[in-house]
Amino acid sequence: MSDLNAAQKSIGEALDAARAGEDKALAQQVRDLGAQAVRLLTGLWRLMRTHEPDNDAFENPTRDFALTLVRLIELLGPLHLVCVEGQVYINDVRIRIDDRTGGAANLEEELRAHHSGGLEFAQPLDDRSIRSLLHVLAGRPAEQHPLRALATRIREAELTTVTVNGLFRLRVSGEQTGPTPTRRDVVQTAERATGLVSEAWDNLAAGRTPNPLPVRRLVNDLVDSVARGEHILPDAAAGAGSAVAGHSLRVCSLSILIGAELGLPPAVLADLGVAAMFHDAGYGAREDGYAPPFERHAGAGACMLLRQRGFHPAKVKRLLVAFEHHDPMSRTPILLARIVHIADDFDTLSRNRSGGAFYSPALALELMSGAAGTLYDPGLLQLLINRIGKYPPGTLLRLRDGRTVVSVSGSRGQASFARPLCRVVITADGTPVLPGSPEQVEVDLALGGGVIEVIEPRGAPPP
């Protein structure tokens, strides 16, 4: 009976913890307002079939729909309404619609006629815009490419903040688009990640409650990719989105790499990834219209993250990372903050800026190595070094044969530590190689070829 007692106690504690992590008020608000928005949208859509847009019958429901949109956007930021398999989701929250009113099924059916599965509202709409939108939606679907036609009509109606999406289907765990991830998959994931991170940042900056769940799902994907041994170095997303969102994504990926090398369990890797994604949240804040300076960004970041309600260990760690991710070793920052510190500084020193990167990734690593034990946890830094090698991805190398190559792989083991897989960027005769051209061949230095020098970027030295 003792193991049953222990089980009972452990489940009881898990339930208590779950209750502590709940933000009942927020969830209820989203569900209530979401259900109201869907009901109003469906009702207005029907009404538009029988009335002209300027009919007085639209007055009240249009005003209510406008108000509901305002409140939802205040709460959640850009609104993603998705109808899929008889269910309606608003920003990933499933909305309970009374089936007797036919809300979910009706809306899905109406949208499906246009080959559409959902709408996005980037900003609230006024009365006139709502009527215009409904007029477009209630129009007869085009026989050829109805979705494209609908998008065109929405654009023509100058509804620039409304986006219409194609049909959706539910994605089941373990599902792959093909036998192996293709370049397109990687790019799509990178785009999805960038969009998601950018949106999370926008929401923080707009003073909304942080919603880590979508970011967490993305991070879980990244963790799974690492577990499968896939390449997740963030070069694909390097130039996408805002600078700060791109930085967050790269720091997140690097942090997960270090954590995985260390052997952290997947759940902790996920906490680490989400913490890394939000480590610089402070730069999303505004002080008199400007982003806070470096000295105050930790406090400002914590301030933004503190808007999320409900106790969760991951949130505590996330806040600690926001506070401690620049702390030297003498202040004994927590493990996750020490990891993010390394990833953060590596990216800061080596990322592309408008004036060029400060250092090549290889030199950034050597300089950081000089501060191991004082600024950085020496063991954790060594894990990064082991993983990305002497010439980390993105390092430009001049080879003995005169070609210039860029490193594209991390370390593939001790033997290839200083012999990465590279791609030619300048031929031996000095001709630049365009991406995708036949000359852009891969060179595996593990099979031969020597490095003469690391080419440093032309960017100004760090201030």
- The interface with another protein within residues 85-144 (CB under 8 A) comprises 87, 89, 92, 94, 115, 117, 120, 122-123
- Regarding 70 and contact with another protein (CB under 8 A), the answer is no
Distance CA 159, CA 164 (A): 11
- The answer to the question of residue 22 lying near another protein (CB under 8 A) is yes
Cα separations (Å) of 218 from 119, 168, 204, 386? Answer: 22, 18, 18, 25
Among 285, 340, 396, 405, binds another protein (CB under 8 A): 285
Rule CB under 8 A: is residue 186 a binding residue for another protein?
no
Burial 92-122 (b: 16+ CB within 10 A, else e): ebebebeeeeebbbbbbebbeebbbbbbebe
Number of residues that bind another protein (CB under 8 A): 150
* String of contacts with another protein for each residue 156-185, x by CB under 8 A: ----xx-xxxxxxxxxxxx-----------
Inter-residue contact 451 to 399 (CB < 8 Å): yes
Tell me the three state secondary structure of residue 324.
helix
Distance between CA atoms of residues 304 and 36, nearest Å: 29
| Chosen residue from 57, 113, 316, 452 binding another protein by CB under 8 A | 316
Q: Alpha carbon 411 to chain centroid distance?
A: 26
Beta bridge partners of 143: none
Exactly one of 195, 208, 231, 446 binds another protein (CB under 8 A); that residue is 195
Single-letter amino acid, residue 141: P
The least distance separating another protein from the CB of residue 27, rounded to whole angstroms, comes to 5
Identify which of residues 47 and 93 has a Cβ nearer to another protein in the complex: 93
Contact in structure between 343 and 336 (CB atoms under 8 Å): no
Residue in 66, 105, 302, 408 binding another protein, rule: CB under 8 A: 302
Rounded distance between C-alpha atoms, residue 280 and residue 194, angstroms: 15
Residue 249 near residue 169 (C-beta atoms within 8 A)? no
| Under rule CB under 8 A, residue 297 binds another protein | yes
Q: Give φ, ψ of 450 to 5 degrees.
A: -120, 150
Position 70, amino acid: V
The position carrying tokens 């990216």 is: 347
Report if residue 283 touches another protein, rule: CB under 8 A: yes
Which of residues 29, 36, 101, 242 is near another protein by CB under 8 A? 242
Q: Which residue has the tokens 């031996």?
A: 428
The nearest distance, CB 426 to another protein, in angstroms, is 25
363 near another protein, judged by CB under 8 A: yes
Residues 328-357 that bind another protein (CB under 8 A): 334-336, 344-345, 348-349, 353-354
* Spatial CB neighbours of 177, under 8 Å, sequence gap ≥ 6: 185
* Whole-number Å distance between alpha carbons of 89 and 78: 13
Asked if 367 touches another protein (CB under 8 A), the answer is yes
Indicate which single residue of 43, 146, 449, 459 sits in contact with another protein (rule: CB under 8 A): 146
Q: Which of residues 27-56 bind another protein (CB under 8 A)?
A: 27
Rule CB under 8 A: say whether 247 interacts with another protein: yes
Q: How far is the CB of 329 from another protein (least distance, A)?
A: 13
* Interface pattern 393-432 for another protein (x via CB under 8 A): ------------------x--x--x---------------
Per-position x/- string for 249-278, each x denoting binding to another protein as judged by CB under 8 A, each - no binding? -------------xxxxxxx-x--------
Name the residue nearer to another protein (CB basis): 1 or 447. 1
